Amino acid sequence: MPEGAALVIDRGTRELEGGRLVGGTPRRMLRLSAAGRTAWADLRSGAIASPSGGLLARRLVDAGLAHPRPGTAVATDVTVIVPVRDRAGQLDRCLGSLGLADRVVVVDDGSADPAAIGAVARRHDARLVRRDICGGPAAARNVAAESVTTELVAFVDSDCRVPSYWLARLAGHFADPAVGAVAPRVVSARRGASTRYRDRCGLLDLGPSEARVQPLGVVGYVPTAALVVRRAALADIGTFDEDLRYGEDVDLVWRLDAAGWRVRYDPAVEVWHDEPVDWPARFAKRFRYGTAAAPLADRHPHSSAHLVASAWPTAFVAAALARRPRLMAMAAAATFVSTRRALQAADVNELSAARLTGESLAGTWRGVGRYATQFALPLLAASTLPRARGLRRVAVVAALAVASPIAEHRSRRPDVGLHRFVAGRIADDAAYGAGVYAGCVKHRTLAPLKVVIRRRRSES
């Protein structure tokens, strides 16, 4: 990474004895050399001060142990593309928030009333491209992207509104030549003082934690509801896959990553997205998102998984569900031994290994719980039916189902009560899982349901 760039250490990164760092997604350990320790000390001060610091910063950022702090940039060399179909009112609000009338292209994707769309585009001095037949958002974006000559291309959906500073902040990331795309946080457009789950928790909200976007990572994709892409990166990998009605944005991001481009998620910028106004509409949209899992798994077989975990922590969860305390203790002990062995240094104390073991077990418990609510909620409910020792079984299953929503509520701190958040998240996950099953049936595959078991990584 370039010298002078600012950096911040991820809050999940642990500095252990003997010049070792643990963190990232997937979790790994980095052993620092003498030069690496010097560079680490410089980086902790917040800036890259040497070539060795730049090399270490690249490894830390790529591994998720640290994050860049870009400055603002004058985003003059950018074209904004807005696909739309039959949403003239939303388009008007979207274009009003952009403030870049001379560099905005509106693509009318077969609207029933093209005159209304044309009138809005003219009012904001945006260039209009008309498609007579609706081909979906991927096709609409591609039509406009073919004629773009600016360095950056920004995609914004017509049901979104952006803050005035959004491009200046996101464009700063492109000072790093390895960055191919950057996405902001997409939050629900708030409806008054409501504290209801559906009014506060957006369908496209990926949370408050910045991250490198990569398959199987803590942030595995970003939506193109708002996305800024380097035009050279699009030229490298091609544009959106028009055969995908949903998930075309996930496919694009995964292809960027596979080609070696870095994709960043920067939640410091928030874009407002109009959400469905009632539960049936919300669940229908969640369902449609889920149907994309099967074609994505077909295109990216090594990038698609709804659960990534380690073997021994997974065995711990299985033993808990089977109500086998001895097996739980054995699996926890095996996790500790595995963690201690992975640290590979006698001077790393047992307390550090125990803390990492607890984090691993808790993270796996939450991950398995999320997977279960997405794909096995009826089975979980059935397992709580009255039988011998029923209360204990209910307690274990309930703890599994609510662990991930509770942790997410603590992380995001939304203006929503805990009970509403937990119920809403479980309902969202169930609707998404039903869509995944529908896609599996249509494409005759079970690939989206696979679980990835991986080993802890250690690097020098």
- For residue 195, the one-letter residue type is T
How many angstroms from the chain centroid is the CA of residue 60? 19
Q: In sequence order, which residues have a C-beta less than 8 Å from that of residue 294 and are 6 or more positions away?
A: 436, 439, 440, 442, 443, 445, 447, 448
Structural domains of the chain ordered from first start: 6-69 (no CATH), 78-275 (3.90.550.10), 307-459 (no CATH)
Each residue's pLDDT, cut to its tens digit, for the chain (460 residues) gives 776 678 888 888 888 776 788 888 777 778 888 888 888 887 877 667 677 778 888 988 998 999 988 877 776 789 999 999 999 999 999 999 997 656 899 999 999 999 999 999 999 999 999 999 999 999 999 999 999 999 999 999 999 999 999 999 999 999 999 999 999 999 998 766 778 898 889 999 999 999 999 998 889 999 999 999 999 999 999 999 999 999 999 999 999 999 999 999 999 999 999 999 889 999 999 999 999 999 999 999 988 899 989 999 999 999 998 889 999 999 999 999 988 887 665 455 677 788 889 989 999 999 999 999 999 888 777 766 665 456 777 788 889 999 999 999 998 888 899 999 999 999 999 999 999 999 999 999 999 999 988 765 555 5
The secondary structure element, H or E, covering residue 164 is none
In the three-class reduction of DSSP (H, G, I as helix; E, B as strand; rest coil), residue 271 is classed as strand
Tell me the two tokens of residue 253.
Answer: 């991001």
Q: How far apart are CA 351 and CA 217, in angstroms?
A: 27
Count of other CB atoms within 10 angstroms of residue 342: 18
Q: What angle do CA 352, 356, 359 make, to 5 degrees?
A: 145
Q: What is the pLDDT of residue 407?
A: 94
Q: What is the pLDDT of residue 397?
A: 85
pTM over 0.85: yes
Q: What is the pLDDT of residue 41?
A: 81
Q: What is the pLDDT of residue 46?
A: 67
Q: How far apart are CA 240 and CA 203, in angstroms?
A: 21
Q: What is the pLDDT of residue 346?
A: 44
